[in-house]
Amino acid sequence: MFIFYLFIFYTGACLASFLLWLANHWNQESIPIKQRSRCDHCQQPLKWYQLFPIFSILFFRFRCPSCSNRISSFYLISELFIGLIVLIAVYQFLESNLLLTSYHLLILLRLAILILMSLIDILGRWVPDVLQAGIFICSIGVVQWSFYVLILLFLLLLLYHFGAKYIGGADIKLIFLLSISISIQQLPLLLFISSMSALIFFFLYNLLAKNKMIQIPFVPFLSLAYFYIILFN
């Protein structure tokens, strides 16, 4: 079982590596599907032994072997963290139910889209609408439509109109799209966990890092809170 979970963790790290590549190119508005992965700095195509998530970056000590340009530790942290999230999700599913059903696969698909949205938000401070649509499509089967969703939509439109200085339009859209697949009791928890974790991260980051953060990407915190609720609540 340990080998199986190690495999799941590494599959998550491979997913992270692919989503990081996709997020980087999405921010540059070109996705070179037929081109091999390249070093962002010297544009040399990566060799096969540079394509292993976690191991390659550690083996080459955070440097490109061609040009020695430093590779951000954000890549390693993302691969480890996303691998861990996928591991926890699969472990939770298998603990509660011995089979992975289409319901679980749709949650994993939403997880992948949310991770991609989070990476694009962190790297470029925006979120493509097509990914928001993807979240909606993957939620259709579990939509808890009720009167409260309409009231929530009205309140979020008000917030968008009057509070655009404090919260991004993409964050408001995502709050709405995530809330239609959770219950009314879970919505305050989603908002509480995401805003508290974002605030704590913001203060700790500005306390410890040399480059201060002015605007915080909120999508990663919304995504984490959503997955905590879906998996544990």
Q: Which residues bind Zn ion (CB under 5 A)?
A: 39, 41-42, 64, 66-67, 69
CB of 153 to Zn ion, least distance (A): 47
- Rounded distance between C-alpha atoms, residue 158 and residue 172, angstroms: 10
Token digits of residue 153: 């939509």
Q: Which is nearer to Zn ion, 39 or 122 (CB)?
A: 39
Question: Which residues does residue 45 pair with via DSSP β-bridges, in sequence order?
Answer: 38
Q: How far is CA 194 from CA 4, 30, 129, 164, 190, in A?
A: 31, 31, 21, 18, 6
Torsion of the alpha carbons at 129, 131, 132 and 138, rounded to the nearest 10: 150
- Rounded distance between C-alpha atoms, residue 201 and residue 206, angstroms: 8
CB of 68 to Zn ion, least distance (A): 7
Which residue type sits at 74? F
CB of 69 to Zn ion, least distance (A): 5
CB of 25 to Zn ion, least distance (A): 17
Q: Which is nearer to Zn ion, 37 or 92 (CB)?
A: 37
CB of 17 to Zn ion, least distance (A): 17
DSSP classification of residue 46: P
Q: Which is nearer to Zn ion, 69 or 233 (CB)?
A: 69
Q: Which is nearer to Zn ion, 25 or 125 (CB)?
A: 25
Interhelix angle 169-179/147-162, rounded to 10 degrees, is: 170
Q: Which is nearer to Zn ion, 40 or 129 (CB)?
A: 40
Q: Which is nearer to Zn ion, 47 or 169 (CB)?
A: 47
CB of 45 to Zn ion, least distance (A): 10
Q: Using alpha carbons, select from 26, 205, 227 the residue that is nearest to residue 123.
A: 26
